[in-house]
Amino acid sequence: MKKCILPVILLALLSGCGKVSDASGMESRINIVSGTVEGTTRDRTTTETEVTTDKLNSKSGTTTTKTAGDKVSGTTTTKSKNSSIQPATRASGGGRTSSGGNHGTTRHVPTAQRTTTTTVQPTTQAPTFDPKDYSSISFAFNESSNEIDVSRNGDPHAFQVLKDLDLSEIRNALANDSSKTINDFIVRQNDFDFDGYPDLFIIERQDDLNKTGKYYRYDPTKGTYTKWEELNTQRFEVMVNSTENSLTFYDKKDTLNYEAKTFEWGDNGLLVLRRVVKQYNDGELIDTIVYAENGYEIVSQETRDSQGNLVGEDTTEQPQED
C-alpha cells in the first residue's frame, strides 16, 4: 500500500507544474534582453553603430548598438521584407557577396581635387634695333671661313654673316700692311638704288686699274644686307651719278683705253642700259652709243676724236616731220 502512495504523490506534483498563473498580460509585453546594466548617466553620450551584412540585398540584418554612459550591451534581431541596405560609413565583416565576396574593411575616402602648377620659364628676347638705323653697323672677319660678320652697337656677336666671298687677297693685304683694316675693302657710303640707304660693295680683287667684288643691298625693313645679283653681273666697281640716278661701270683696259656702261633702274628692279662709251686707239677715238628707254634700240651713235671733233658720219636719228 505504501508503495502505491508515493507514485500518486509524484504524479500530482507533476500535474501542478503545468499550471500558469495570469500576471495581467505582463509576459506578452516582455522583450528578451540579456546583458548587464551598470554605471551612471553621463552628460556626454557617444554612439557607435556597426552594421554587419551577411549578404547584400538580403531580407534580414543584425544591428549591434553600443552606448557609452548607460552601458547597454545586447542583441536585437529584426526582419523586414525586400529591404535595401544603404552604403554605410564603415562596414566591417568577413562575409561574402554573391559575386565572390569582399574581405576586410571598406572606407569611403573623399576625392581630393588635383592641382597642376605650371612654371613659366623666363624667355630670352633677342635685342631689338631700328632696322632703318645703319649708323652702328660694323664688320669683322669670320676666322673659320671666307665670311664677314656683321654686328651692331659693338656687339661681338654677329646678327648676320655675309657668305660666298673670296677674301684671300684681302687677308694677304692685311697681313702685309698693318695699317690697313677690313674697312679699307668695304665701300659702304654709296646708295646704289637711290632709296636713301647706303649699300655695300666688298672688294675682292683690286689692281691699279680695276676693282671687282660683291654687291649687297641694304634692306631697311629688316636691317640686313641681301646679295645683289643684278649688280654682281657687272663685277666692276660702280660710279654713282645721283643727279640723273644712273650707275656707270668702268672696265679699264689700260690707262688710255676703257669701256664704260651706264645703266638706270627700270620699274621691274632690273638695270636698263642707256649708254656705252668706248675710248680706244690710245685715247684718240671715242665711240658713244645711246639707247632708248627699253635698253635695246639705239637712239644715236657717233665717234669723236680726243679734241671732241666729230669723226665720220653722224648717225643720230633726226626727228621725223609729220
Q: Where are the alpha helices (DSSP H) in 119-276?
A: 168-176, 229-232
**How confident is the model over 280-287, as a mean pLDDT?**
95
| Tens digit of each residue's pLDDT (9 = 90 or more) over 141-185 | 987 788 999 999 988 889 999 998 999 999 999 999 999 999 999
pTM of the model: 0.58
What's the CA gap between 261 and 251, in Å, rounded?
9
Among 224, 217, 214, 211, which residue's Cα sits nearest to residue 193?
217
Are the C-beta atoms of 93 and 99 separated by less than 8 Å? no
Q: How confident is residue 269, by pLDDT bands cut at 50, 70 and 90?
A: confident
**SS3 (DSSP) at 13:** helix
pLDDT of residue 128: 77
**How confident is the model over 8-33, as a mean pLDDT?**
49
Mark 296-309 as b/e (b = at least 16 C-beta within 10 Å).
eeeeebbbeeeeee
Residue with the three cell numbers 495570469? 22
Please calculate the CA angle 192-195-197 and round it to the nearest 5 degrees: 75
